Chain A
Amino acid sequence: MESIIETTNLKIGYKIRKKQAVIAQNINIKVSTAKLIALIGENGIGKSTLLRTLSKVQPKLDGNISIHSKKIENYTVAELSKNISIVLTEKIPASNLTVYELIALGRQTYTNWLGALTNDDKSKIDNAIELCKIKDLKTKKIDELSDGQYQKMMIARALAQDTKIILLDEPTAHLDINNKIEIFKLLKDLVEKEQKLIVVSTHELQLALHTCNDLWLITNTEFLCDTTKNHIKKGSLNKMVRSEYVTFDKIKEQFIFQ
Chain B
Amino acid sequence: MNLKSTKFQFTILTILLLFFMLLNISFGSVNIPFKDVILSFFGDTSIKENWVYIIQDYRLPKTLTAILVGSGLSISGLLMQTLFRNPLAGPFVLGISSGASLGVALLILGASLFGASFSALAFSNFGLAIAASLGAFLVMLAVMLVAQKVRNTMSILIIGLMFGSLTTAIISVLAYFSSAQELQQFMFWSFGSLGNLSWNELLLFFVIYLIGILLVITIIKPLNTLLLGENYAKSLGVNLKRTKNITLITTAILTGVITAFSGPIAFIGLAVPHLAKMIFNTSNHKILLPASFIIGAIVMLISDTIAQLPNSEYTLPINAITSLFGAPIVIWLLVGKRKTY
Binding site for B on A (CB under 8 A): 52, 55-57, 76-82, 84-86, 88, 90, 92-98, 100-102, 105-106, 108-109, 111, 113-115, 139, 143, 161
Which residues of chain B are within 8 angstroms of A100 by Cβ–Cβ distance?
A: 1
Other-chain residue from A94, A98, A109, A114 in contact with B236 (beta carbon distance below 8 A): A109
Looking at the assembled complex, report how far the CB atom of B323 sits from the nearest CB atom of chain A, in whole angstroms: 25
User: Are B236 and A105 touching (Cβ within 8 A)?
Assistant: yes
Which residues of chain B are within 8 angstroms of A101 by Cβ–Cβ distance?
A: 1, 283-284
Looking at the assembled complex, report how far the CB atom of B158 sits from the nearest CB atom of chain A, in whole angstroms: 18
| CA gap between A79 and B234 in the complex, in Å | 11
Residues of B in contact, count (CB < 8 Å): 27
Which residues of chain A are within 8 angstroms of B341 by Cβ–Cβ distance?
A: 94-95
Mind listing 18 A-B residue pairs with CB under 8 Å?
A52-B231, A82-B237, A86-B231, A90-B229, A90-B231, A92-B229, A92-B232, A95-B227, A96-B281, A96-B340, A98-B1, A100-B1, A105-B224, A108-B224, A108-B225, A113-B221, A115-B220, A115-B224
Which residues of chain B are within 8 angstroms of A88 by Cβ–Cβ distance?
A: 231-232
Looking at the assembled complex, report how far the CB atom of B223 sits from the nearest CB atom of chain A, in whole angstroms: 10
Which residues of chain A are within 8 angstroms of B125 by Cβ–Cβ distance?
A: none
Which residues of chain B are within 8 angstroms of A85 by Cβ–Cβ distance?
A: 235
| CA gap between A212 and B236 in the complex, in Å | 27
Which residues of chain B are within 8 angstroms of A105 by Cβ–Cβ distance?
A: 224-225, 227-228, 236
Which residues of chain A are within 8 angstroms of B234 by Cβ–Cβ distance?
A: 56-57, 77
Query: Chain B: interface secondary structure?
Result: loop
Over the window 20-56 of chain B, the binary record of Cβ atoms lying under 8 Å from chain A Cβ atoms (1 yes, 0 no) is 0000000000000000000000000000000000000
B239 sits at the interface (CB 8 A): yes
User: Are B227 and A77 touching (Cβ within 8 A)?
Assistant: no
- Which residues 222-251 in B have Cβ within 8 Å of A in the complex? 224-225, 227-229, 231-232, 234-239
Which residues of chain B are within 8 angstroms of A109 by Cβ–Cβ distance?
A: 236-237
Most B CB contacts (10 A, CB to CB) among A52, A86, A105 go to A105
| CA gap between A76 and B241 in the complex, in Å | 13
| CA gap between A76 and B242 in the complex, in Å | 14
Which residues of chain A are within 8 angstroms of B283 by Cβ–Cβ distance?
A: 95-97, 101
User: Are A57 and B238 touching (Cβ within 8 A)?
Assistant: no
Most B CB contacts (10 A, CB to CB) among A85, A101, A139 go to A101
Other-chain residue from A57, A96, A106 in contact with B231 (beta carbon distance below 8 A): A57
Over the window 205-230 of chain B, the binary record of Cβ atoms lying under 8 Å from chain A Cβ atoms (1 yes, 0 no) is 00000000000001011001101110
B59 sits at the interface (CB 8 A): no
What number of residue pairs across chains A and B have CB atoms under 8 A from each other?
A: 83
Please name 13 further chain A to chain B contacts, defined as beta carbons within 8 Å, in addition to the given A93-B85, A111-B221, sorted by A numbering: A52-B231, A56-B234, A57-B235, A86-B232, A86-B235, A94-B339, A98-B1, A101-B283, A102-B228, A108-B236, A109-B236, A115-B221, A115-B224
| CA gap between A56 and B1 in the complex, in Å | 33
> Nearest residue in A to B233 (C-beta to C-beta)?
A108
Known: A95-B283, A113-B221, A115-B220. A81 touches B236 (CB 8 A): yes
User: Are B238 and A77 touching (Cβ within 8 A)?
Assistant: yes
Query: Chain A: interface secondary structure?
Result: loop
B62 sits at the interface (CB 8 A): no
Which residues of chain B are within 8 angstroms of A57 by Cβ–Cβ distance?
A: 231, 234-235
User: Are A114 and B339 touching (Cβ within 8 A)?
Assistant: no
Which residues of chain B are within 8 angstroms of A94 by Cβ–Cβ distance?
A: 339, 341
Most A CB contacts (10 A, CB to CB) among B227, B281, B282 go to B227
B7 sits at the interface (CB 8 A): no
| CA gap between A57 and B341 in the complex, in Å | 26
Looking at the assembled complex, report how far the CB atom of B110 sits from the nearest CB atom of chain A, in whole angstroms: 40
Which residues of chain B are within 8 angstroms of A95 by Cβ–Cβ distance?
A: 227, 283, 341
Looking at the assembled complex, report how far the CB atom of B286 sits from the nearest CB atom of chain A, in whole angstroms: 7
| CA gap between A109 and B234 in the complex, in Å | 10
User: Are B235 and A114 touching (Cβ within 8 A)?
Assistant: no
User: Are B286 and A115 touching (Cβ within 8 A)?
Assistant: yes
Looking at the assembled complex, report how far the CB atom of A68 sits from the nearest CB atom of chain B, in whole angstroms: 16
User: Are B237 and A81 touching (Cβ within 8 A)?
Assistant: yes
Q: Which 10 A-B pairs have the closest CB atoms?
A: A81-B237, A78-B237, A109-B237, A115-B221, A95-B283, A96-B283, A93-B85, A108-B236, A86-B235, A92-B228
| CA gap between A177 and B224 in the complex, in Å | 34
Which residues of chain A are within 8 angstroms of B228 by Cβ–Cβ distance?
A: 92-93, 102, 105
| CA gap between A68 and B72 in the complex, in Å | 46
| CA gap between A94 and B239 in the complex, in Å | 22
| CA gap between A97 and B235 in the complex, in Å | 19
Which residues of chain B are within 8 angstroms of A78 by Cβ–Cβ distance?
A: 237, 239
Which residues of chain B are within 8 angstroms of A113 by Cβ–Cβ distance?
A: 218, 221
User: Are A92 and B235 touching (Cβ within 8 A)?
Assistant: no
| CA gap between A96 and B6 in the complex, in Å | 15
| CA gap between A80 and B237 in the complex, in Å | 7
| CA gap between A122 and B114 in the complex, in Å | 66
> Nearest residue in B to A79 (C-beta to C-beta)?
B237
Looking at the assembled complex, report how far the CB atom of A172 sits from the nearest CB atom of chain B, in whole angstroms: 19
> Nearest residue in A to B225 (C-beta to C-beta)?
A108
Most A CB contacts (10 A, CB to CB) among B224, B235, B236, B281 go to B235
> Nearest residue in B to A82 (C-beta to C-beta)?
B237
> Nearest residue in A to B278 (C-beta to C-beta)?
A96
Looking at the assembled complex, report how far the CB atom of A15 sits from the nearest CB atom of chain B, in whole angstroms: 11
Which residues of chain A are within 8 angstroms of B231 by Cβ–Cβ distance?
A: 52, 57, 86, 88, 90
